[in-house]
């Protein structure tokens, strides 16, 4: 964009896309977080390239939040180049940095179908971040078959992550694991996932709303499960022949409680087994009788409650079904094993509603752990976490209603009807 501007006077920096592109890094790869994002080779913390990009954007737009980001990246800027020299001759003034304390804590990037929910965007040590994806771009090129999947981190470290690695484009591990739905925090139907290497295997964000106390997002990935994989994408792992009629995931974030209430609504022509998948760098602790899971990183832990009724089997492994390919001179320590948990629900009905609650707690917290329980009333399903409640409308509507109590005793309400 800079070269075009210098040569022609056409300023692509003035386009809405360019003005807002830095928000992607700010919200989805904050400078203190090393969680993998969606797609190829996104693991580890931001590096020199991220720092340079945000420094450029900060100068062009005089954006104090972009400058804060650039300052937070510990890696040095790339070695000085003719491009960089020319750029800073056009935009020489560096803005004063400002942490994003007054920016919204949640964002929906409508072009790409990505959503990020934060508890404290400006302070990594206190931040809980959930990323959610349901994208119109499908699973093509560097995008995976991961519509309606999510990623969870706390204190800058992953708790529930995208799994797999990117040894090289099209490697056996890349094709057989990382691109497949089984590698993501998503849903399988009869052990099969979404179409791979197919632009049409898409999803969409069908609801998004944010407030100081609650955030709400919903994604519809039905089409992704109905569209076949390309021949090179292992079609035998695709659910396109399983009679999928509906796959919708809805998530509410109760920010003060660092709690996520998740409802998966799956409909198939005939009853099918449904697999609820979670992945982490760390081993899960499983209480099969209580249907609770726990996983930790260095700073925090997540407790997962599975409230679906009926028979279920919970298993985990630290092995990939397709091993990571050997990369010359990389060393095996570059690709450590990860943990993969599968909760398989028996084929009890054609319409399934999987209710899950994920609570995040920092190890330094001394407040009592709030009780978590299932709530159900005619036409509604949800959960209570302490005194807070989250309830989803079970019709085709995307309605949700929430309430919670402030520290001073006042109640606040959040409702969405779309």
**272-312 per-position pLDDT tens digit:** 999 999 999 999 999 999 999 999 999 999 999 999 988 89
Name the residue ranges covered by the structural domains of the chain: 2-90, 106-363
Angle value at C-alpha 245, between 243 and 249, nearest 5 degrees: 125
Helix/strand/coil for 69: helix
DSSP string, 356-374: EEEEEEETT--SPPPPEEE
Residue 151: enclosing H or E segment and its boundaries? strand 149-154
- Tell me the C-alpha to C-alpha distance, in Å, between residue 47 and each of 39, 335, 365: 17, 19, 31
The predicted pLDDT at position 76 comes to: 80
Query: What pLDDT digit, counting tens, does each position of 73-106 carry?
Result: 988 876 666 667 788 888 888 999 999 999 999 9
Given a cut of 70, is residue 154 above it in pLDDT?
A: yes
In this structure, of 3-7, 240-244, 362-366, the range with the lowest mean pLDDT score is: 3-7
* From 15-24, 75-84, 90-99, 348-357, the region with the lowest mean pLDDT: 75-84
Measure the CA–CA gap between 158 and 297, rounded to whole angstroms: 7
Q: Give the SS3 label for residue 26.
A: helix
What distance in Å separates the CA atoms of residue 130 and residue 106, rounded to the nearest whole number?
10
**Angle at 264 (CA atoms; ends 262, 270), nearest 5 degrees:** 165
How far are the Cα atoms of 36, 165, 176, 329 from residue 325, in angstroms, in the given order? 19, 9, 11, 12
- pLDDT grade, residue 21 (50/70/90)? very high
pLDDT tens, residue by residue, 237-250: 999 999 999 999 99
**SS3 assignment, position 226:** helix
Which CATH number is correct for 106-363, 3.40.50.300, 1.20.120.1730, 1.10.10.10, 2.70.98.70? 2.70.98.70
Look up the pTM and report it.
0.95
- How is 267-311 classified by DSSP, letter by letter? EESS---EEEEEEESSPPEEETTTTEEEEE-SSEEEEEEE---S-
- Residue 353: exposure state from Cβ atoms within 10 A (0-12, 13-18, ≥19): middle
pLDDT of amino acid 83:
66
């Amino acid at each position: 964009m800079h070269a075009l501007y210098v040569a022609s006077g056409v300023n692509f920096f003035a386009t809405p896309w360019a003005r807002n592109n830095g928000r992607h890094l700010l919200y989805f790869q904050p400078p203190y977080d090393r969680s993998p994002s969606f797609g190829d080779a996104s693991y580890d913390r931001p590096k020199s390239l991220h720092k340079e990009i945000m420094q450029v954007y900060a100068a062009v737009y005089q954006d104090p939040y972009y400058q804060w980001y650039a300052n937070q990246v510990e890696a040095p800027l790339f070695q000085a180049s003719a491009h960089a020299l020319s750029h800073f001759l056009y935009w020489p003034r560096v803005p004063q940095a400002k942490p994003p304390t007054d920016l919204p804590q949640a964002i929906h990037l409508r072009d790409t179908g990505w959503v990020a929910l934060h508890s404290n965007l400006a302070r990594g040590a206190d931040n809980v971040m959930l990323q959610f994806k349901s994208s119109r771009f499908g699973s093509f090129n560097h995008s995976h078959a991961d519509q309606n999947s999510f990623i969870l981190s706390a204190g800058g470290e992953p708790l529930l992550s995208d799994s797999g690695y990117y040894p090289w484009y099209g490697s056996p591990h890349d094709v057989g694991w990382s691109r497949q739905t089984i590698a993501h925090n998503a849903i399988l139907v009869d052990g099969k996932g979404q179409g791979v290497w197919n632009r049409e295997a898409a999803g969409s964000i069908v609801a998004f709303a944010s407030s100081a106390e609650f955030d709400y997002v919903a994604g519809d990935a039905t089409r992704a499960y109905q569209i076949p994989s390309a021949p090179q994408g292992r079609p035998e792992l695709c659910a396109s022949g399983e009679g999928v009629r509906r796959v919708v995931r809805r998530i509410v974030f109760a920010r003060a409680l660092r709690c996520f209430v998740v409802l998966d609504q799956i409909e198939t022509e005939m009853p099918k087994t449904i697999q609820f998948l979670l992945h982490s760098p760390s081993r899960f602790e499983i209480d099969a009788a209580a249907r609770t899971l726990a996983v930790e990183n260095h700073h925090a832990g997540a407790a997962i409650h599975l409230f679906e009724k009926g028979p279920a089997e919970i298993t985990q492994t630290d092995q990939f079904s397709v091993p990571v390919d050997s990369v010359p001179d990389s060393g095996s320590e570059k690709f450590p094993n990860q943990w993969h948990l599968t909760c398989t629900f028996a084929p009890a009905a054609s319409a399934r509603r999987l209710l899950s609650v994920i609570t995040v707690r920092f190890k330094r917290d001394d407040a009592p752990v709030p009780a978590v329980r299932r709530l159900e009333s005619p036409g509604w399903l949800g959960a209570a976490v302490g005194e807070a409640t989250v309830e989803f409308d079970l019709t085709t509507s995307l309605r949700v209603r929430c309430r919670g109590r402030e520290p001073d005793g006042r109640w606040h309400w959040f409702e969405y009807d779309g």
